[in-house]
């Protein structure tokens, strides 16, 4: 039987995009991965700044819903999320080690707010965030083994 981490809360809150872990993305500093992801949706720099300039990831998400989306967003969003996760969990960082410490556990972004694309709600969902986290973890493990 494999172990699963089914919620990114408590000791696993570091897996959440809302976790306070500043990251540099395309020349700008963001308070959380959620801030950077929401800003990445924007067509112009003014909207990216609008998303970035607050400390609350929930507010960043709300602001991301109010901006003009880049026309290729649907095709690019998974790749952008993966890139951001690779920045957040960069090789050799404390967060990378914490991700590696999850071992072989299946990572499931369980939620109650109906996100069935990035997570799983009421047993339904594609769990893209969990899938990408496990991919990043596997790549970190390979890099660690290869020295």
The answer to whether the beta carbons of residues 137 and 97 sit under 8 Å apart is: no
Q: Does domain 4-145 have CATH number 1.10.357.40?
A: yes
The residue-averaged pLDDT of 64-72 equals 97
Which residue bears the tokens 């090789």? 91
- Burial environment of residue 113 by CB neighbours within 10 A (0 to 12, 13 to 18, 19 or more): exposed
Instruction: Give the pLDDT score at 1.
Output: 44
Kindly report the pTM of this predicted structure.
0.95
The residue-averaged pLDDT of 54-80 equals 96
Q: How far apart are CA 60 and CA 48, in angstroms?
A: 10
Instruction: Give the pLDDT score at 147.
Output: 72
* Domain ranges within the chain, ordered by starting residue: 4-145
Nearest to 28 by CA among 49, 57, 58: 49
Give the confidence band of 96 by pLDDT, cuts at 50, 70, 90.
very high
């Amino acid at each position: 039987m494999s172990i699963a981490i089914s919620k990114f809360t408590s000791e696993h809150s570091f897996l959440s995009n809302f976790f306070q872990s500043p990251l540099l993305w395309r020349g700008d500093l963001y308070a959380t991965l959620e801030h950077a992801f929401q800003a990445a949706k924007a067509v112009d720099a003014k909207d990216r700044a609008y998303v970035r300039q607050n400390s609350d990831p929930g507010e960043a998400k709300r602001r991301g819903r109010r901006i003009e989306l880049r026309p290729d967003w649907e095709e690019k969003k998974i790749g952008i999320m993966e890139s951001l996760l690779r920045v957040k969990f960069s090789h050799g960082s404390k967060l990378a080690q914490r991700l590696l410490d999850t071992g072989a556990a299946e990572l499931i972004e369980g939620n109650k707010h109906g996100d069935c694309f990035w997570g799983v709600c009421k047993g339904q969902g594609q769990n893209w965030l969990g899938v990408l986290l496990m991919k990043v973890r596997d790549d970190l493990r390979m890099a660690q083994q290869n020295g």
